[in-house]
């Protein structure tokens, strides 16, 4: 019986828990066993079974007292960007090795209040900076579909854990594509809500005007349940949106007949690999056959997203990462002279190459004489891009296209060339700059040698339209079974 628990949708698990056919402790043990069996993936950075089982016992006790809820007793893995009291929080950096937070991130706390049980912390690119997970100071995560391929990044541990069914749900964060790209590469459902919907409190900051918490799940339906608990106003986050909480499952059953799907021509230009295009066009055709209307749209400045992003994100990163000085927490160099030397050496030793590169870019673009030419200019072009989305949404309800130009690439293929790595986020960055909700859902596999590497379909909606976005994704998943596929080595 328990061998199928990791293949069940959340609603199925909730039903089993409610019927007392399985306890939260049994469910946690089932996933902890699977995590242990698949340690080779390197998806988890910190596992503390005693902490997990204590949370599971607490969930069972709440149920015994008459509490209920769709997430009570459901396990979740947290990206190591969220700080947690019971597990170390490192941002996959040597800088924060062994760091124990005095508090839980708001996202973690809200999910705990809903009764979710923490399985542990999952690997990612250092400080969420990367597109392949190769920037983790603790080694890269393997892609469960093809262990010679990267799982994507930065939320590669989250996507691999869900793809391998060693966690039913994982939290993730997206700054320029860090949820959608790894979700696409691992053949699962990745959801980034509107910027400001989930709290950034306790999310180790990278680029504050872009950082958005979200989820890795098997299906859009699972995402809708968890997202409903995760989002809400938080006075501790200065950019948190003060809006009533929502039930994001409310439009799941809404048919897509009449839905207007915008297809941006720029997302199908040179550079898009034929196998990805075939799978994505196939998904669009499925939508059309279900009664949706395809509308040709244009986002002419979207291609400037990458240069804009590589000014804005490093600028904010250099500011945010200035807090790591080796004084209050984090790595301190073993040998140093005066205080300034201690800070410089501690940062040089604690940060890996990618955060250092971005700190240098950011420091430069914010420095005297360059601030207007780079940072202000980038913020202006950012607005042009965001305005184009608003124009597009007058003609369509959702926008659809590829998530990435290719299926998952191999380890080492792009590691030596930052610019080619940065291009991985070509189609995801525009939505991040605009701050609109966006998802990746599985829609097929690559061709030839890439036949075991998944392809993702990107869906975006206007601000605060998550319910409709999730509904559109769910309707596709009712008609297809790509999201139910499990890599053979992890099915049993």
Partner 1 sequence: MINYVMILRIAIGKPAPTRPAGRPSLPFSAFPLLFHVRTPVRPHMSLRPEDVQRIAHLARLAITEEEAERTLGQLNDIFGMIERMRAVDTEGVVPMSHPLGGAQRLRADVVTDIPDRERNLANAPARQDGLFLVPRVLE
Range 159-198, binding partner 1 (CB under 8 A)? 194-196
Please list every residue from 457 through 476 that binds partner 1, using CB under 8 A.
463
Distance CA 10, CA 71 (A): 8
Q: Which residues of 301-339 are buried (b: 16+ CB within 10 A; e: fewer)?
A: bbbbbbebbbbbbbbbbbbbbeebbbeebbbebeeeeee
Least spacing, CB of residue 451 vs partner 1, in Å: 32
Least spacing, CB of residue 195 vs partner 1, in Å: 4
Please list every residue from 100 through 139 that binds partner 1, using CB under 8 A.
100, 102
Q: Is 367 a binder of partner 1 (CB under 8 A)?
A: yes
Least spacing, CB of residue 191 vs partner 1, in Å: 17
DSSP one-letter string for 406-470: SSPPBTTSSTT-HHHHHGGGTTTHHHHHHT--EEEEEEEE-SGGGTTSEEEEEEEESTT-HHHHH
Interface residue with partner 1, options 35, 137, 343, 429 (CB under 8 A): 343
Q: Contact, 74 vs 169, CB < 8 A?
A: yes
What secondary structure letter does DSSP report for 149? B
Please list every residue from 206 through 235 that binds partner 1, using CB under 8 A.
208-209, 235
Q: Contact, 312 vs 375, CB < 8 A?
A: yes
154 is catalytic: yes
The kind and range of the H/E element at 146 are none
Q: Which of 23, 79, 101, 346 is catalytic?
A: 79
Q: Is 330 a binder of partner 1 (CB under 8 A)?
A: yes
Interface residue with partner 1, options 61, 327, 451, 479 (CB under 8 A): 327
Q: Is 342 a binder of partner 1 (CB under 8 A)?
A: yes
Q: Which of 136, 154, 155, 228 is catalytic?
A: 154
Q: Is 366 a binder of partner 1 (CB under 8 A)?
A: yes
Least spacing, CB of residue 304 vs partner 1, in Å: 5
Q: Is 326 a binder of partner 1 (CB under 8 A)?
A: yes
Binding window for partner 1 (CB under 8 A); candidates: 264-272, 276-284, 298-306, 393-401: 298-306
Q: Which of 23, 136, 178, 318 is catalytic?
A: 178
DSSP one-letter string for 347-387: HHHHS-HHHHHHHHHHHHHTSTTTHIIIIIHHHHHHHHHHH
Q: Contact, 405 vs 420, CB < 8 A?
A: no
Sign of CA dihedral 60, 62, 67, 71: negative
Distance CA 393, CA 398 (A): 7
DSSP one-letter string for 31-82: HHHHHHHTGGG--EEE--HHHHHHHHHHHHHHHHTT---TTTT-EEEEETTB
Least spacing, CB of residue 36 vs partner 1, in Å: 28
Please list every residue from 48 through 87 that binds partner 1, using CB under 8 A.
none
Distance CA 298, CA 281 (A): 17
Please list every residue from 408 through 427 that binds partner 1, using CB under 8 A.
417-419, 422
Angle (CA) 54-59-64 rounded to 5° is 120
For 450, half-sphere exposure in the C-beta direction (CA atoms, 13 angstrom radius) is 22
Least spacing, CB of residue 329 vs partner 1, in Å: 4
Between 83 and 457, name the residue whose CB sits nearer to partner 1: 83
79 is catalytic: yes
Give SS3 for 115: coil
Least spacing, CB of residue 382 vs partner 1, in Å: 5
Binding window for partner 1 (CB under 8 A); candidates: 277-285, 336-344, 394-402, 467-475: 336-344
192 is catalytic: no
Please list every residue from 230 through 269 that binds partner 1, using CB under 8 A.
235, 238-239, 241-242
Q: Is 435 a binder of partner 1 (CB under 8 A)?
A: yes
Between 408 and 433, name the residue whose CB sits nearer to partner 1: 433
Please list every residue from 378 through 397 that binds partner 1, using CB under 8 A.
378-384, 386
Binding window for partner 1 (CB under 8 A); candidates: 20-28, 133-141, 248-256, 370-378: 370-378
Active site residues: 79, 154, 178
């Amino acid at each position: 019986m328990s061998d199928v628990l990791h293949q069940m949708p959340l609603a199925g698990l909730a039903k089993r828990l409610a019927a007392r056919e399985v306890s939260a402790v049994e469910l946690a043990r089932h996933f902890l066993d699977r995590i242990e069996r698949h340690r080779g993936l390197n998806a988890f950075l910190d596992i503390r079974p005693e902490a997990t089982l204590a949370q599971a016992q607490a969930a069972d006790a709440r149920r015994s007292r008459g509490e209920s809820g769709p997430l009570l007793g459901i396990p979740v893995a947290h990206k190591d960007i969220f700080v947690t009291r019971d597990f170390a929080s490192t941002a996959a950096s040597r800088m924060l090795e062994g760091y124990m937070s005095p508090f839980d991130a708001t996202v973690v706390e809200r999910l705990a209040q809903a009764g979710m049980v923490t399985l542990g912390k999952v690997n990612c690119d250092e400080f969420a900076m990367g597109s392949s997970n190769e920037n983790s100071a603790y080694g890269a995560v393997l892609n469960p579909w093809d262990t010679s391929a990267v799982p994507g990044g930065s939320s590669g541990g989250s996507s691999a854990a869900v793809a391998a069914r060693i966690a039913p749900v994982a939290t993730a964060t997206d700054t320029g594509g860090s949820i959608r790209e790894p979700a696409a590469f691992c053949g699962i459902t990745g959801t980034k809500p509107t910027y400001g919907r989930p709290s950034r409190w306790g999310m180790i900051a990278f680029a504050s005007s872009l950082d958005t918490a979200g989820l890795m799940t098997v299906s859009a339906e699972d995402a809708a349940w968890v997202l409903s608990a995760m989002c809400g106003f938080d006075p501790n986050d200065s950019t948190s949106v003060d809006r009533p909480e929502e039930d994001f499952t409310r439009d799941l059953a809404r048919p897509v007949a009449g839905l207007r799907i915008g297809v941006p021509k720029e997302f199908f230009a040179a550079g898009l690999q034929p196998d990805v295009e075939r799978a994505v066009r196939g998904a669009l055709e499925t939508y059309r056959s279900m009664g949706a209307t395809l509308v040709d749209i244009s986002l002419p400045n979207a291609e400037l997203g990458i240069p804009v992003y590589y000014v804005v994100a490093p600028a904010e990163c250099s500011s945010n990462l200035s807090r790591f000085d080796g004084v209050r927490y984090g790595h301190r160099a073993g040998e140093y002279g005066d205080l300034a030397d201690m800070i410089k050496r501690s940062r040089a030793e604690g940060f890996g190459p990618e955060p250092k590169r971005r700190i240098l870019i950011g420091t430069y673009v914010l420095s005297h004489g360059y601030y207007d030419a780079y940072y202000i200019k980038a913020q202006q072009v950012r607005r042009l891009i965001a305005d184009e989305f608003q124009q597009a949404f007058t003609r369509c309800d959702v926008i659809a296209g590829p998530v990435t130009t290719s299926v998952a690439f191999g380890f080492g293929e792009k590691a030596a060339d930052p610019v080619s790595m940065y291009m991985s986020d070509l189609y995801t960055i525009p939505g991040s700059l605009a701050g609109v909700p966006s998802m990746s859902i599985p829609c097929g596999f690559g061709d030839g040698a890439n036949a075991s590497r998944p392809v993702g379909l990107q869906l975006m909606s206007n601000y605060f339209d998550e319910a409709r976005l999730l509904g559109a994704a769910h309707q596709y998943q009712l008609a297809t079974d790509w999201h139910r596929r499990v890599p053979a080595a992890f099915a049993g």
